[in-house]
Amino acid sequence: MKKHNYSAGPCILPQEVFEKSAQAIIDFNQSGLSLLEISHRSKDFVAVMDEARALVLELLGLEEKGYQALFLAGGASLEFLMIPYNLMKVNGKAAYLDTGTWASGAIKEAKHFGETIVVASSKPENYNHIPKNYTVPSDADYFHCTSNNTIFGTQMKSFPEVSMPLVCDMSSDIFSRSLDFSKFDIIYAGAQKNMGPAGTTLVVVKEEILGKTGRTIPGMLNYQEHISKESMYNTPPVFPVYASLLTLQWLKKLGGIAEIEKINEAKANLLYAEIDRNPLFKGVAALEDRSNMNATFVLANPEHEAKFDAMWKAAGISGIAGHRSVGGYRASMYNALPIESVQVLVDVMQELEKNI
């Protein structure tokens, strides 16, 4: 039976990425060696890293604009620490928007470095919306936000105009929609949503904002060190970088971000229309802030959960249980999820309605 993978991450990737990755593990570039055993300094892998970094900037429209793309380790959670290390001045301050669990984690790390101002938070409402009409203090060293909140199913539809560096955690919606990415000074994202397997983190940084904190930064945590070593300050996560390159190549061949955005909007519209139409279901996030990546919803009557769970499992659907901290359901519709899989979920929801 075909599986319809709604996992929130690690998540679905294009089938061709699995196939090419599997072949590379057996024999990479017809070298007679596995991708898993070659030197990261070999000509073949240096070419992978160079192409992946260049393709990131090409897809985001940031070529020739002073940006560097890095593939690092430690997950987006390590970036929570690296951002203030590299941007918050000694005796400085930073401004954060609190929109969910991961934003809260970033705020916690920043507090180790200096004054950390939360300009607005939707925590009192269980993060069911994106705060609006907040003010970012003009003397902050940077402003940090999280573009998409996987657990609660909200997504920023616009970003504030600020006078300081704008930093964004785009872990769960990078490469999914068209934005003016040049408005951001640092973008970071764990690979395991729209870009590749778990194990590497993409950081896109405008080089001119670095080196201004007045603090000593350990080499492994210093973006300038990673840039100077062309993302090979230490042994990089070879396999995740290669699989990410394959995914970026797939996206480019598909037509780039503009094309995948149309597909993602169609998928989200299909599912949200059923959530709103079907009296058995209720959406969780505020309408204007609904995420195109992670649709969160609950059953109006919890007594129907057992029946619904049995039905979606029988249909080959996987991974739609809500995050353990909130319950309910979460359908993650990342780039590689086909719209046909969304239709299967909609069909199950309609079948439940007929049988209640």
User: φ and ψ at 259, to 5 degrees?
Assistant: -75, -45
Q: What percent of the chain has pLDDT above 70?
A: 100
- Per-residue confidence band for 247, with pLDDT thresholds at 50, 70 and 90: very high
pLDDT at 238: 98
Q: What is the distance between the alpha carbons of residues 309 and 312, in angstroms, rounded to a whole number?
A: 5
- The string of DSSP letters for 244-305 reads HHHHHHHHHHHTHHHHHHHHHHHHHHHHHHHHHH-TTEEE-S-GGGB-SSEEEEEESSGGGH
Q: 106 to each of 98, 195, 206, 222, how far by Cα in Å? A: 9, 21, 20, 17
Tell me which of 98, 141, 169, 173 is the catalytic residue.
169
Identify the three-state secondary structure at position 117: strand
pLDDT at 119: 98
- Write the pLDDT tens digit of every residue in 276-320: 999 999 999 999 999 999 999 999 999 999 999 999 999 999 999
Location of structure tokens 């492994």: 220
- Write the pLDDT tens digit of every residue in 122-166: 999 999 999 999 999 999 999 999 999 999 999 999 999 999 999
Q: What is the distance between the alpha carbons of residues 75 and 11, in angstroms, rounded to a whole number?
A: 15
Tell me which of 173, 185, 193, 206 is the catalytic residue.
193
Q: CB of 345 within 8 A of CB of 31?
A: no
Q: CB of 105 within 8 A of CB of 81?
A: no
87-93 average pLDDT score? 97
Total Cβ atoms within 10 A of residue 306: 9
257-285 average pLDDT score? 98
* Paired tokens of 1: 């039976």
Q: 298 to each of 58, 101, 158, 256, 280, how far by Cα in Å? A: 39, 20, 27, 33, 9
Tell me which of 102, 141, 267, 312 is the catalytic residue.
102
- Per-residue confidence band for 38, with pLDDT thresholds at 50, 70 and 90: very high
239-255 average pLDDT score? 98
Number of DSSP helices (H) and strands (E) in the chain, helices first: 9, 14
pLDDT at 323: 86
Q: What is the distance between the alpha carbons of residues 90 and 314, in angstroms, rounded to a whole number?
A: 57
- 3-state SS of 196-219 is CCCCCEEEEEEHHHCCCCCCCCCH
* Paired tokens of 312: 């979606």
Q: What is the distance between the alpha carbons of residues 162 and 156, in angstroms, rounded to a whole number?
A: 16
Active site residue 102: yes
pLDDT at 226: 98
Per DSSP, helices labelled H in the chain are: 15-26, 43-60, 75-87, 101-110, 223-228, 238-254, 256-277, 305-314, 339-355
Domain ranges of the chain: 15-254, 257-355
Is 90 exceeded by the pLDDT of residue 192? Answer: yes
For 26, residues 6+ apart whose C-beta sits below 8 A from its C-beta are: 34
Location of structure tokens 């690690």: 10
Within its chain, how far is the Cα of 239 from the centroid?
A: 19
Cβ-count burial 141-161 (b if 16+ within 10 Å, e if not): bbbbbbbbbbbbbbbbeebbe
- Per-residue confidence band for 327, with pLDDT thresholds at 50, 70 and 90: confident
To the question of domain 15-254 being in CATH 3.40.190.10, the answer is: no
Q: CB of 309 within 8 A of CB of 315?
A: no
For the 257-355 domain, the top CATH level (class) is: alpha beta
* Paired tokens of 225: 């060190």
* Paired tokens of 60: 């985001």
Q: Is the preceding omega at residue 302 within 30 degrees of 0, hence cis?
A: no
- Write the pLDDT tens digit of every residue in 230-243: 999 999 999 999 99
* pTM, full prediction: 0.97
Q: What is the distance between the alpha carbons of residues 328 and 321, in angstroms, rounded to a whole number?
A: 6
Active site residue 193: yes
